[in-house]
Amino acid sequence: MVLYGNAWQNDYLRYGVDFGILEGEGIAIVTRDGEATLYLDDPFEADRASVECDDITIVVCKDIVRDVAAKINSFDNSNIAAAPQRHLPYGLAQLRQKHNIADATVILDHLLMVKAEEELQAVRRAARLADEGYAVFRDAAQIGVEDYALIAQIEAFFRANGVDDNFMIIGVGGPEMRGMAPPSGKKLKAGDLVTTELTPCIDGYYVQICRTLVVGPPNEAQQKAFSLYHEAMIAGIDKVAPGVSASDIAKAENDVFRKYGLGDYVTSEYTRVRGHGLGLFPDTKPHILEGVETTIEQGMLLIVHPNTYHPEVGYMVLGDSLIVGPDGAEVLTTTPRELFSVPQTRSAS
């Protein structure tokens, strides 16, 4: 099996060889008898891989596509599959017909979605750090601080505590705020909603928490809106069980918005997904969306987050990660489901 990865879409590669690539590209060839060779195009990454993954063969390439193509061309009468199909470099994709290379994306997708117990151990550690990370975030939030300085606090905390990577976006503002993005230098001011998705990665496994805080006391509209998101998240989590579909969970969340006349705000114009899978990728399948009929299975790791735009207060987020157990959700993140408030008296020096 030929597995491609880079620091963005690393999950297929990491599943095969457990290397968290940061720079350049990596391609692993994993044989049925368990031999794994990792091709890397960056000599420093190859150094790092040789320290972090000492049980695989590492090859440094000047032209990774050419070298892996040569290796594939050397296989005689082998059944070869590759994943992920969309990202396989064109120079290798061109070999699909010649070598009858099968698409292994669906096989890998299922392996990535349903976790083994050893994987769930890393997941639980990551969940603990997601909670601790949000506490750091909350403590660092104060009037006058720039959004990127908030993130600096989190990243420093994570690096000191064994978190290799973190997916994180942020929103600062009010009704004009339509979503989250990387920090742009906004300074927190009284009345702002501050939203974040925090997604620490431990040993390759990402767990997410979504929370919203208000700088100063929340107003009535913000509190009322938050109670709606809270109700929607609980409705979604309560729906989680083996055998239901991703669509069922999304519908449970969205029905709460519809009940309050906010059905327009669960459409793609205002929100992307109502949750998603987590694991070796911070936004993996299944996407929790009405219309996605993927069956939920025991051992899946999901986040349920009814994050969307609210016309009165702006973009608001709330979400908890969970493992699908035999009887329903085992919620991992333990940060209180509150609309947090930062005292207005706390100001950046």
Partner 1 sequence: MRHGLMKWREDELSQADVLSRQYRLQKSMEADGIDGVLIYTNHVRSAAVTYLTGFTPYWSDALLFLPVAGKPLFATALSKRVGNWIKSTNPTSTIDHSPRPGELIGKHMIALGCKKVGVVELDHMPGGLIDEIIGVTDVQLVDASTMFAEARTVRDAAEIALAKKANQIATDAFASAPKERLLVGDVTEALELYVRNAGAEECYVAIAPDLQKDTRLARTKGQVELGETFAIRLSIAYNGVWIRRTESFLRTAGDDNLTQLARWADGLSETVDPSLAMASQLATSSRPAGASISGWTLEAPIGNRPLQAVATEKNQTEQSLPYGVLTIQLDTKQGSFVLARPIGLHLSPPTAEGAV
The distance from CA 195 to its chain's CA centroid, rounded to whole angstroms, is 16
List the interface residues with partner 1, window 101-130 (CB under 8 A): none
217, two tokens: 């006391």
Nearest to 113 by CA among 289, 291, 287: 287
Nearest to 144 by CA among 74, 102, 192: 192
Residue 81 found at the interface with partner 1 (CB under 8 A):
no
Of 75, 227, 272, 295, the one binding partner 1 (CB under 8 A) is 272
CB-neighbour burial class of residue 345 (10 A; exposed 0-12, middle 13-18, buried 19+): exposed
> H-helix or E-strand containing 72?
helix 64-74
Of 107, 181, 190, 221, the one binding partner 1 (CB under 8 A) is 181
One character per residue 276-305, x = contact with partner 1 (rule: CB under 8 A): ------x-----------------------
Select 48 or 239, whichever has its Cβ closest to partner 1.
Answer: 48
* CA dihedral over 57, 59, 64, 67, signed as positive or negative: negative
In the complex, minimum distance from the CB of residue 61 to partner 1, in angstroms, rounded to a whole number: 11
With CB under 8 A as the rule, give the number of residues binding partner 1: 63
In the complex, minimum distance from the CB of residue 21 to partner 1, in angstroms, rounded to a whole number: 8
Residue 221 found at the interface with partner 1 (CB under 8 A):
no
In the complex, minimum distance from the CB of residue 235 to partner 1, in angstroms, rounded to a whole number: 23
- Scan for tokens 């978190």, then name that residue: 163
Nearest to 168 by CA among 133, 204, 119, 216: 133
Of 35, 52, 238, 312, the one binding partner 1 (CB under 8 A) is 52
Relative orientation angle of helices 117-140 and 147-160, to the nearest 10 degrees? 140
Segment near partner 1 (CB under 8 A), from 173-181, 221-229, 245-253, 327-335? 173-181
Select 282 or 306, whichever has its Cβ closest to partner 1.
Answer: 282
Length of the chain: 349
Residue 259 found at the interface with partner 1 (CB under 8 A):
no
**Angle at the Cα of 276 from the Cα atoms of 138 and 147, rounded to 5 degrees:** 30
Backbone angles phi and psi of 70, in degrees to 5: -60, -40
Residue 89 found at the interface with partner 1 (CB under 8 A):
yes
- Scan for tokens 């493992």, then name that residue: 323
In the complex, minimum distance from the CB of residue 326 to partner 1, in angstroms, rounded to a whole number: 34
In the complex, minimum distance from the CB of residue 201 to partner 1, in angstroms, rounded to a whole number: 11
Select 32 or 51, whichever has its Cβ closest to partner 1.
Answer: 51
Select 145 or 324, whichever has its Cβ closest to partner 1.
Answer: 145
Residue 339 has a CB neighbour count (10 Å cut-off) of 20
Residue ranges that bind partner 1, judged by CB under 8 A: 6-9, 20, 22-25, 41-44, 47-48, 50-52, 62, 65-66, 85-94, 146, 148-149, 151-153, 155-157, 159-162, 164, 166-170, 178-179, 181-185, 268-272, 282
